[in-house]
């Protein structure tokens, strides 16, 4: 028996055929992604060759996990029963199931890549949890019968081809001994063992080009890697400073702003922010509209020529218009985290989705100090992405399209359902923006009649795949793509403002409009800075003239800026600062993915912290969106580490909790 035949005894013929089929199709998917991103991926001979070689390596590791259970079955199944009815049933079933699983995963990868330009990551893991929204979204976005039919047809063709080539016959009719089966079984177990304990998904990332890194990965392996690693310890994986030094850096920055630390000797940032002009405080109502996936480049104000945001482009001339504003992350929960907690992003999951994230100091606490009613509005079920638990557990009333998911008994809040008769249109993610705004107006009327100032946090859903919305509202058909969804989103804002202006409470109400994140965040750079650029507008601010504000700032700064405009004296545990009072050297924006943490400064220098205690320093070219390597700046490095390290430390050690600040829950 030759060395090759020792690895390929006849009893293992079907298993090896399955391995080869998997690797073949996985390579096809990899090539599809290469051609898909042909203008972005590095296609130089050695880079593309290494991308495919690393991909092959991960394919072998991935398929070994599928192979081990059947290999063990083959090893221990007695020779005298080869080809028995039981053996045939198990073999046909296992092979068919394996084909269906990997074909389904390949189809799923293509749809996931279309949306995120990534292999499966922790977003895919989250989607597995929220099956109702995701399954409904997929059903509304893609021709499901056609896709499922395609998978089943391809499975049938592969089964037919396998049978016709005599693979099943060779697997059932042979005299392979236990000893002969031992070597291939050991081989598969060894490969699976190595990948389980020594190979990490990030080991595929051997390139400067992010697309090469993603294409080199294998989808199924990436999925399970994300399932295991959705939180990262900052102290274990990132460059750090001594804790007291990190806090000293951040506290010194607060002192420069004129803030008074209330616990200067502790690892806390709780401080008093005073109205230095001694002007009387103003307490208007505040409605904050967090717009799903509103990239800056959708607006004509930033060069778009499609005329899909006429309302926002008009408002830009009648508001405080923040033109150099950046999101902290790439998902809605990251935007919510940044806005409510006013904190740089922590590695791994957003705090909105973590445990122990209730009774924290949020912007809602500042509004509470000033006597405001606080409401969170969402057009879907706020169970999704843990939104209801986060907002409800931090003092907000909940207004959502509840479908029966109950809040934890420990959360004391008022939950109001959006009833069927209040809904004119609904898709997978929730009701149309017009419907949610109508509910906002109803709740505002009630609060105004009760004499209570209100702060409303409104999360929209219409600008999201499947991009469907009520017909006849705009000149782009529903479901035709992102541009239509953006234009409907803009239209709904316009209608909301028209209706709100008819209300008595409007003249004493500030409207803030800002995106949660951009519509697309993927790029070939370590951080795709351009795809963090978002618009921000403040309307109807008392005694404040319309103006364009071009200071570089972050989502975390919007509400500290508002509080300053209202002349509030208040205690704060927020990292954000008043944008209008920023000095050029203080202008900055925090940008992050679940692994990469960036700091962008006024001169367009950007530093990125990565796990494995790596940092990289770049010059960002706004025209080309390229990151050009620079020699590392120690002062800059100290600044980025201190901000991210203290943010992570505060959450991990209770420093964001109300009771740690001497406040009542």
Asked if 155 and 5 touch (Cβ cutoff 8 Å), the reply is no
Which helix (DSSP H) or strand (DSSP E) does residue 325 occupy?
strand 320-326
**Whole-number Å distance between alpha carbons of 373 and 417:** 18
- The alpha-helical segments, DSSP class H, found in 198-262 are 210-216, 219-228, 234-237, 243-256
Nearest C-alpha neighbor of 137 from the set 426, 440, 422, 398:
426
The first and second tokens of residue 23, run together, are 């690797």
Catalytic residue among 332, 362, 461, 593: 332
* CA gap 295, 532 in Å, rounded: 8
Q: Are 18 and 98 contacting, i.e. CB atoms less than 8 angstroms apart?
A: yes
| 475 annotated as a binding-site residue | no
- Strands (E) across 409-483 are located at 415-417, 426-427, 430-431, 454-459
Q: Check residue 537 and report its DSSP letter.
A: E
Q: Any idea which residue has 């009771």 for tokens?
A: 659
Which one, of 39, 553, 508, lies nearest residue 283 by Cα?
A: 508
Residue written as tokens 């009327």?
Answer: 445
For residue 246, the Cα-to-chain-centroid distance in whole angstroms is 27
Angle, to 10 degrees, between the axis of helix 45-76 and the axis of helix 85-116? 150
Enclosing H/E stretch for 218? none
CB-count exposure of residue 295 (10 Å: 0-12, 13-18, 19+)? buried
516 is in an annotated binding site: yes
Backbone phi, psi, residue 301, to 5°: -60, -25
Tell me if residue 332 is catalytic. Answer: yes
Tokens coding 463: 């600008």
Per the listing, tokens 């638990």 go with 389
CB 146: neighbour CB atoms within 10 A?
A: 9
Instruction: Confirm whether residue 292 is marked as ligand binding.
Output: yes
Least Cα distance to 493 among 539, 527, 526 occurs for 539
Binding residues: 292, 332, 464, 516-517
Binding residues for substrate: 464
Binding residues for Mn(2+): 292, 332, 516-517
What residues are labeled active site? 332
């Amino acid at each position: 028996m030759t060395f090759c035949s020792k690895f390929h005894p006849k009893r293992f013929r079907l298993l090896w055929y399955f391995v080869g089929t998997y690797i073949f199709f996985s390579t096809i998917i990899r090539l599809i992604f290469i051609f898909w991103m042909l203008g972005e991926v590095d296609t130089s001979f050695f880079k593309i060759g290494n991308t495919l070689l690393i991909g092959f390596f991960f394919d072998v590791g991935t398929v070994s996990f599928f192979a081990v259970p059947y290999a063990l079955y083959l090893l221990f199944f007695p020779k005298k029963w080869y080809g028995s009815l039981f053996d045939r049933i198990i073999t046909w079933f296992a092979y068919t199931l394996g084909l269906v699983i990997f074909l389904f995963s390949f189809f799923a990868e293509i749809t996931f890549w279309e949306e995120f330009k990534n292999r499966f990551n922790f977003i895919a893991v989250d989607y597995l949890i929220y099956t109702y929204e995701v399954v409904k979204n997929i059903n509304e976005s893609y021709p499901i019968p056609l896709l499922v039919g395609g998978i089943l047809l391809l499975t049938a063709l592969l089964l037919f081809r396998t049978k016709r080539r005599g693979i099943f016959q060779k697997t059932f009719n042979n005299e392979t001994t236990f000893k002969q089966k031992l070597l291939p079984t050991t081989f598969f177990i060894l490969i699976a063992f190595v990948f389980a304990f020594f190979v990490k998904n990030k080991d595929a990332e051997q390139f400067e080009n992010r697309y090469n890194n993603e294409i080199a990965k294998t989808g199924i392996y990436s999925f399970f890697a994300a399932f295991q690693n959705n939180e990262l310890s900052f102290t274990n994986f990132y460059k750090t400073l001594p804790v007291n030094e990190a806090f000293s850096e951040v506290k010194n920055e607060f002192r420069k702003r004129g803030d008074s630390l209330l616990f200067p000797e502790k690892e806390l940032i709780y401080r008093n922010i005073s109205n230095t002009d001694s002007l009387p405080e103003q307490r208007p109502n505040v409605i904050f509209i967090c717009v799903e996936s509103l990239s800056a480049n959708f607006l004509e104000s930033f060069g778009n020529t499609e005329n899909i945001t006429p309302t926002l482009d008009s408002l830009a001339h009648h508001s405080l218009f923040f033109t150099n504003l950046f999101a902290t992350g790439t998902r809605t929960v990251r935007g919510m985290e940044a806005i409510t907690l006013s904190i740089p992003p922590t590695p791994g999951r957003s705090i909105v989705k973590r445990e122990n994230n209730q009774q924290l100091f949020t912007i809602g606490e500042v509004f509470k100090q000033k006597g405001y009613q606080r409401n969170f509005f969402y057009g879907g079920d706020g169970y999704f992405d843990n939104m209801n638990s986060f907002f409800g557990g931090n003092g907000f009333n909940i207004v959502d399209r509840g479908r029966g998911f109950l809040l934890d008994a420990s959360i004391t809040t008022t939950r109001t359902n959006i009833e069927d008769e209040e809904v004119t249109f609904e898709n997978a993610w929730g009701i149309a923006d017009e419907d949610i705004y109508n509910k906002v107006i109803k709740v505002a009327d009630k609060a105004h009649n009760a004499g209570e100032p209100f702060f409303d946090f409104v999360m929209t859903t219409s600008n999201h795949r499947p991009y469907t919305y009520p017909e006849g509202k705009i000149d782009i058909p529903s479901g035709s793509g992102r541009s239509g969804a953006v234009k409907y989103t803009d239209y709904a804002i316009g209608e909301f403002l028209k209706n709100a202006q008819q209300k008595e409470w409007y003249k004493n109400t500030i409207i803030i409009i800002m995106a949660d994140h951009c519509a697309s965040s993927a790029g070939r750079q370590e951080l795709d800075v351009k795809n963090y650029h978002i618009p921000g507008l403040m309307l109807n601010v008392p005694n404040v003239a319309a103006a364009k504000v071009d200071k570089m700032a972050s989502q975390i700064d919007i509400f500290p800026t508002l509080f300053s405009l209202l002349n509030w004296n208040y205690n704060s545990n927020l990292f954000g600062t008043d944008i209008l009072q920023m000095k050029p050297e203080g202008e900055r924006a925090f940008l992050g993915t679940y692994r990469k943490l960036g700091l962008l400064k006024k001169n367009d220098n950007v530093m990125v912290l990565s796990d494995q205690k790596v940092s990289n320093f770049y010059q960002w070219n706004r025209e080309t969106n390229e990151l050009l390597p620079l020699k590392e700046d120690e002062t800059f490095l100290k600044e980025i580490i201190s901000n991210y390290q203290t943010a992570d430390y505060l959450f991990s050690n209770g420093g964001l909790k109300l009771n740690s600040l001497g406040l009542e829950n």
